Every structure is written in structure tokens, then in C-alpha cells.
């Protein structure tokens, strides 16, 4: 575990604002974009709405951007009037949403649908429920997911174009909805980048000084990742048996199964963290584990778990899904582990711990340069305004 002297951050959601403040965010520019997301949260909203708005607001272009949500739904006419472009992000179909899209299109305004998951095509519902380890015996699970996915799919089909996180997902969107799909990757926002750089510099200044133990981190702790975690479980058991210096640090609600329960004293589990203090947790561990199943759902996922660790000076071992295989050059800025290679790759990464500063610096540089918020506005502007 790395020694970190950067203290935890006092956190409050940076997107808290009134409707009037947000509406004012559309005024005064040459062009404007209004994002809609049902209820702001720490995950998709942050990546696909908050971060986009931040990048646009801080660019030199005279573009205004703001977001709206379900509590503003009765004021959508006002929003449509003020915005030049609308982006409905992962929004379920309702009569009000349909009216807003129709109204915008009737006024010649371009309407986008932003989507970061393969959750709009019900012909893949079964695969997705399996992947997310849902209880297939429960009829309500099927009702909920079919309803959710078909409502997302319907809003998507009503829009003029889509925005996604990678080309793999873009192809599926176009195939499903018969509309063009553009790619704007996920990236780091200003707060995340700034705090992560503090963490990285702190580690670098100390020449990556660490305790003599190795901590492996797993930061995807929700029950929907049970099956992903299962990919690495047998390798972890073997490592814990063979290497008394290995510990596991997890954040979230992962249920330990089977032989891992024999190592509870070497497994630390923390509750979910806000997105800034999570960076501090990640910065502590030597290796960030990102096991993912290999199917059309997981190949649509972005590489965010790589760049969030990289920017904090922590190297990642990931499954070679579409996005991770594109982001990581094995052995240079992290490692890729096929399903049968987890033990060997982790063992190798530990054996190569002497190279850690080089790999960590490579990956941090890559993360800052490719995934920093200040590098994104041109792509966003090109997609939204042509």
C-alpha cells in the first residue's frame, strides 16, 4: 500500500443548483445545449452530463450549456425554446419527454440521445440480466428490465442522432435505432483531475514509497458486478494462499463467495465513496483489478476504471474488452489479463514492482493527456454543433 499524505476531501455534489440558475446557464452564448437526465447522480450523470457541461463552459468557444431533470419536466417548453441543441441522456420515454422532442424537432433543433450502456434493445435483455446477476426467477425483474430498456429504446429512436462512449456501442445504437451515432468518450472532470494529480505527485515525490505488503483493489462494488468479480476470484484465492503479503481492498457491496471467505482477515471492505475520495482509495493500492465478462454488453462499457486509477498513479490489470484493450498497451501502461491469465498477470505485476514508477508515470501521462476534461471540448462541440 502506498503512503499518501494528501488528506481526504470534504465533498458535496458540485452540480447542486436551482432551476433558475440552470436556466440562466443557457443564456448569453452564441449557441447553447440543454442536457436532460432524470435524476442527477454520481455515475452516468457525472460522466455524460456534468463533465460535458464543465468542458464546454471552460472552452474558449462561446457555448452555453446546462442540465435539467425530472423535477423540471413541466418546464421543458421553456428549456426547448432557449436551447439550440438538446441531449436526452439515458432518459426513459414519457409523454412529456416525447412532447419535448417533438417540439424541439418542429423548431428545427437537433435532438441527441446520449447512452453509455447497451440497455436499449430488449432482444438483449436476457443476456444483460445474466451479466448483471439478476434473479431470473423473479417475474418483477423481467417486467422491470423489459420496461426500462424499451422505454430507453423508444426515446433513443425518437431522437435525431445518438452519442455514445465507444465505437462498439455506437454500431449497436445505429443498428437498433437507425440513427447516426457519434462517440464522445468518458473523461475526468476538473475536480477529479486536480485532486488525482495531487495524489499522483505525492506518490511520485516519495518515489512511490509503500508498505511491504501488496494491496489489490477492486472498486466496482455493486451486486451487479458479482459475475465480473467471479472471473478473478479463483486467481485471488490462489494468490492469497501462495503470497502472505497480498491483501485485497474492496469498495462496495461485493458478496464474498466460496474460498475467499477463508481470507477475511486479509480482505478490507469499505462502503461506497464519493467520486473524489474514491480516487484517494484507489491511489493507495498497488494494483487496480478490472475483471469483466466478455459479451456485447461488457464490450460497450468504457475504460473509465483504467483512467481513473492511472491518473492517481495506480496501475490497472483489466480484461481485454473492447475499450480496455484499446486503452491499455500490455506491460507499458498497465496489463491485460484474459480470463485464464489473472493469476499469472497479477503475479507478474507483483514480480515487476520495481518497474512500478515507470508504468505509473506512463499511465498517468496517458490519462491526463487523453482523458483530461480540457482535451474534450472540440469533440463535444463538433458532435453537438457540427
Partner 1 sequence: MITDSINRGSLFGGVATAIILASLLAKRWDSELRVITRTEKARERNFGTILKLNNIPFTKNVDFLFADVNSADVQIDLSPNDYFLTTSWWTTRSVLQSVNVSRVIYLLQEDERMFYPHGDDHRLCSEILHSPGIRFVINTKLLFSHFVNEGFLNMRDSATWFEPSFSPQLLYSEKSAEREDKKRNLFFYARPSHPRNLFYLGLSVICSAIERKILDVNKWNIYFVGCDSQSITLDRGYAPIIVPNLGWEEYCSLVRKMDLGLCLMYTPHPSYPPLDLAACGGVVVTNTYGVKDALRQYSKNIICRDATIEGLLHGLVEGVALANDHERREKNYREDRLLRDWNESFSAVIKNLSEV
Binding site for partner 1 (CB under 8 A): 126-127, 130, 136-137, 231, 234-235, 238, 258, 293-295, 319-320, 338-344
Residue 5 C-beta: closest distance to partner 1, Å? 38
d(CA 185, CA 42) in angstroms, rounded, equals 17
Residue with cell 436551447: 83
Residue 381 C-beta: closest distance to partner 1, Å? 36
Strand order in the sheet with 246-252: 267-270, 246-252, 214-221, 287-290, 315-318, 335-336
Q: Largest alpha-carbon pair distance within the chain?
A: 66
Residue 198 C-beta: closest distance to partner 1, Å? 36
Contacts 24+ apart (CB under 8 A), 176-179: 176/120, 176/121, 177/113, 177/120, 177/153, 179/113
**Number of Cβ within a 10 Å radius of residue 122:** 17
Select 199 or 246, whichever has its Cβ closest to partner 1: 246
Residue 214 C-beta: closest distance to partner 1, Å? 19
Select 220 or 298, whichever has its Cβ closest to partner 1: 298
SS3 127: helix
Q: Is residue 86 within 8 Å of residue 161, measured between CB atoms? A: no
Residue 174 C-beta: closest distance to partner 1, Å? 21
Residue 338 C-beta: closest distance to partner 1, Å? 5
Select 319 or 333, whichever has its Cβ closest to partner 1: 319
Residue 230 C-beta: closest distance to partner 1, Å? 8
Please report the DSSP string for 199-255 in residue order.
Answer: HHHHHHHTTS-B-SSEEEEEEEESGGGHHHHHHHHHHHHHHHHH-TTEEEEEEE-PP
- Residues whose CB is less than 8 angstroms from the CB of residue 261 and which lie 6 or more positions away in sequence, other chains included: none
Question: How far, rounded to the nearest angstrom, does the alpha carbon of residue 331 sit from its chain's CA centroid?
Answer: 23
Select 313 or 320, whichever has its Cβ closest to partner 1: 320
Select 156 or 287, whichever has its Cβ closest to partner 1: 287
Cross-strand partners of 71: none
d(CA 81, CA 274) in angstroms, rounded, equals 35
Select 180 or 258, whichever has its Cβ closest to partner 1: 258
Select 341 or 381, whichever has its Cβ closest to partner 1: 341
- H or E element that contains 282: helix 275-284
Select 46 or 305, whichever has its Cβ closest to partner 1: 305
End-to-end CA distance of the chain: 47
Residue 167 C-beta: closest distance to partner 1, Å? 19
**Number of Cβ within a 10 Å radius of residue 295:** 15
Residue 362 C-beta: closest distance to partner 1, Å? 23
Residue 71 C-beta: closest distance to partner 1, Å? 39
Select 13 or 133, whichever has its Cβ closest to partner 1: 133
Q: Is residue 350 within 8 Å of residue 285, measured between CB atoms? A: no
Select 142 or 270, whichever has its Cβ closest to partner 1: 142
Question: How far, rounded to the nearest angstrom, does the alpha carbon of residue 307 sit from its chain's CA centroid?
Answer: 10
Amino acid at each position: 500500500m502506498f503512503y499518501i499524505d494528501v488528506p481526504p476531501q470534504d465533498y458535496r455534489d458540485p452540480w447542486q443548483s436551482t432551476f433558475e440558475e440552470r436556466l440562466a446557464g443557457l443564456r448569453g452564448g452564441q449557441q447553447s445545449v440543454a442536457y436532460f437526465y432524470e435524476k442527477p447522480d454520481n455515475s452516468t450523470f457525472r460522466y455524460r452530463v456534468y463533465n460535458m457541461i464543465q468542458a464546454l463552459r471552460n472552452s474558449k468557444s462561446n457555448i452555453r450549456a446546462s442540465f435539467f431533470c425530472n423535477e423540471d419536466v413541466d418546464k421543458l417548453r421553456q428549456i426547448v425554446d432557449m436551447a439550440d441543441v438538446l441531449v436526452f441522456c439515458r432518459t426513459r420515454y414519457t409523454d412529456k419527454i416525447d412532447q419535448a422532442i417533438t417540439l424541439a424537432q418542429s423548431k428545427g433543433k437537433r435532438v441527441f440521445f446520449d447512452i453509455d450502456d447497451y440497455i436499449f434493445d430488449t432482444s438483449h435483455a436476457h443476456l444483460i440480466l445474466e451479466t448483471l446477476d439478476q434473479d431470473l426467477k423473479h417475474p418483477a425483474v423481467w417486467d422491470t428490465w423489459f420496461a426500462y430498456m424499451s422505454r430507453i429504446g423508444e426515446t433513443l429512436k425518437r431522437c435525431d442522432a445518438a452519442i455514445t462512449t465507444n465505437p462498439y456501442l455506437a454500431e449497436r445504437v445505429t443498428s437498433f435505432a437507425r440513427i447516426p451515432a457519434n462517440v464522445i468518450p468518458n473523461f475526468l472532470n476538473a475536480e477529479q483531475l486536480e485532486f488525482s494529480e495531487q495524489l499522483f505527485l505525492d506518490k511520485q515525490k516519495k518515489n512511490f514509497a509503500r508498505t511491504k505488503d501488496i494491496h489489490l483493489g477492486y472498486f466496482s462494488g455493486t451486486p451487479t458486478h458479482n459475475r465480473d468479480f467471479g472471473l478473478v476470484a479463483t486467481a485471488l484465492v490462489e494468490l492469497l494462499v501462495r503470497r502472505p503479503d497480498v491483501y485485497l481492498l474492496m469498495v462496495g457491496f461485493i458478496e464474498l463467495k466460496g474460498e475467499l471467505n477463508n481470507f477475511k482477515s486479509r480482505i478490507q471492505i469499505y462502503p461506497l465513496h464519493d467520486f473524489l475520495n474514491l480516487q484517494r482509495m484507489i491511489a493507495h493500492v498497488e494494483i487496480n483489478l478490472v475483471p469483466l465478462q466478455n459479451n456485447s454488453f461488457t464490450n460497450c462499457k468504457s475504460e473509465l476504471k483504467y483512467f481513473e486509477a492511472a491518473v492517481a498513479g495506480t496501475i490497472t490489470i483489466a480484461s481485454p474488452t473492447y475499450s480496455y484493450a484499446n486503452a491499455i498497451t500490455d506491460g507499458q501502461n498497465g496489463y491485460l489479463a484474459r480470463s485464464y491469465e489473472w493469476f499469472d498477470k497479477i503475479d507478474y505485476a507483483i514480480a515487476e514492482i520495481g518497474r512500478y514508477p515507470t508504468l505509473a508515470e506512463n499511465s498517468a501521462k496517458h490519462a491526463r493527456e487523453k482523458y483530461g476534461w480540457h482535451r474534450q471540448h472540440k469533440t463535444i462541440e463538433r458532435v453537438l454543433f457540427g
